[in-house]
Amino acid sequence: MESAERERTIVRTSAIGIITNIGLAAVKAFIGLLSNSIAVLMDAVNNLTDALSSVVTIVGTKLSMRPPDRKHPFGYGRIEYMTALIVAVIVLYAGITALLESGEQIFNPVETEYSTVSLVVIAIAIFVKVILGRYTVAMGKRTDSGALRASGADALFDAILSTSVLASALIMVFTEVSLEAYVGVLISLFIIKSGLEMMGETLGEILGQRSDSDVTARIKGIVRSEPGVLGAYDLVINNYGPGRDYASIHAEVDSTMTAEDIDVFSRNIQVKVYQDTGVKLTAVGIYSIDTSDTEAFAVREAVMKITASHEWVLETHGFHVDMKARKMRFDVVLSFDIDRREALETLYSEVCAAYPGYEVSIVPDIDASD
């Protein structure tokens, strides 16, 4: 989806959410005040925070679509994550406030009274919320908008909470047992839980998290499928907002490849990767392997066996040995479960013991992608 169409879709969906949630909040607040129901009032507050969240989503989307400039060459896409964090804080604040209000009602209960009309209106509101939630989730998937997906999921969950409000109202009508305050507490706790989950997910995006394994597998598969390529390693994908992924990778190639071959190969995979995944491959590093040198290849295989004997070595690549100068270097991907300094000292001592007199250089890589 083009950026302009994506922006229009997000804004339109958010506007529908704003109008719907304000209408629901007004109706529920009216019913809650007439019936003295804290549960209905908390449900109205929940709808109001949803409307405010949609406003923040629109503002964030508008700001994130600003074109790249000298100060921010990768654009302003990450603003969407910042606005999603603001939405999470709003939801969390609303949940805590609602919890305090509901808790007070437990110790100081008030008499509630529902009319048939109010019960019908609450039921209709539940139906409207389900439709809104399904629509918003669908638009969130279509536009790859985390904020819309979160809003849609929240709307569907709100429908469940509103159902609990309706159930407590029916219990009150038929049995005169008041569960209003307790349902209000339940709704508050779920709002707080939703806010914390949204905050955790958004902070993960801001801090940077592991790339999708399906995407990384597809990118490495494309690189390995090119003629003369022996392996693909060190894939790092940096995200600068929805639809703004930039990556770098190392390719292990046969040393017989010329600079012209490597240039053609690099350009080919950049196009293929973007067409298949939408990721822009900005840098392609090269590891050269001389498969014709049997002595050097034997050393490589022996070192590979040494590193493979340790379960905390996830991968070894980029091996190069100069038999005349007696120098060797290679990269290892280390597990996060091992102390990096201790691991390097262990590998260094074992390789040096196997090949005394060699200058050994081991580069530790981060386990950044599958």
Interval 36-67: pLDDT, tens: 777 778 778 778 878 887 888 788 878 888 88
Residue 284: strand pairing partners: 249
Asked whether residue 151 carries a pLDDT value surpassing 80, the answer given is no
As a whole-number percent, the residues of the chain with pLDDT over 90 amount to 29
For residue 25, the Cα-to-chain-centroid distance in whole angstroms is 30
Most confident of the ranges 54-58, 87-91, 322-326, 341-345: 341-345
Q: What is the pLDDT of residue 271?
A: 94
**Mean pLDDT along residues 207-236:** 90
pLDDT at residue 269 in the model: 94
Say how far apart CA 183 and CA 198 lie, in whole Å: 23
pLDDT digits (tens, 9 = 90+) for 310-335: 999 999 998 999 888 999 999 999 99
Domain boundaries, the chain: 3-207, 213-365
280-289 sheet: strands from edge to edge: 229-239, 245-254, 280-289
Q: Which two tokens stand for residue 59?
A: 């503002």
Q: What is the per-residue pLDDT across 231-267, written as a single tens digit (0 to 9) for each?
A: 899 999 998 887 789 999 999 998 888 899 999 999 9
Average pLDDT for residues 254-283, to the nearest whole number? Answer: 91
CATH of 3-207, one of 1.20.1510.10, 3.40.1710.10, 1.10.3720.10, 3.30.70.270: 1.20.1510.10
Q: Residue 1: is its pLDDT beyond 70?
A: no
Residues with Cβ within 8 Å of 192's Cβ and at least 6 positions away in sequence, in order, are 92, 95, 96, 99
Q: Which residues contact 124 (CB under 8 A, 6 or more apart)?
A: none
Q: Which two tokens stand for residue 16?
A: 């529908």
Dihedral angle computed from the Cα positions of residues 169, 171, 172 and 175, in that order, rounded to the nearest 10 degrees: 160
Over range 66-85, report the average pLDDT: 85
- Select 213-365's CATH number: 3.90.1150.10, 3.40.50.1000, 3.30.70.1350, 3.40.50.1100: 3.30.70.1350
- pLDDT of 102 higher than 90: no
| Residue where the block lists tokens 């209960």 | 109
pLDDT recorded at residue 243: 77
Binned at pLDDT 50, 70 and 90, residue 224 comes out as very high
Strands (E), the chain: 229-239, 245-254, 280-289, 313-322, 327-334, 359-365
Write down the pLDDT at residue 194: 78
Residue 198's identity, in one-letter code, is M
pLDDT at 98: 75
- pLDDT at site 2: 65
Residue pair 254/228 in contact by the 8 Å Cβ criterion:
yes
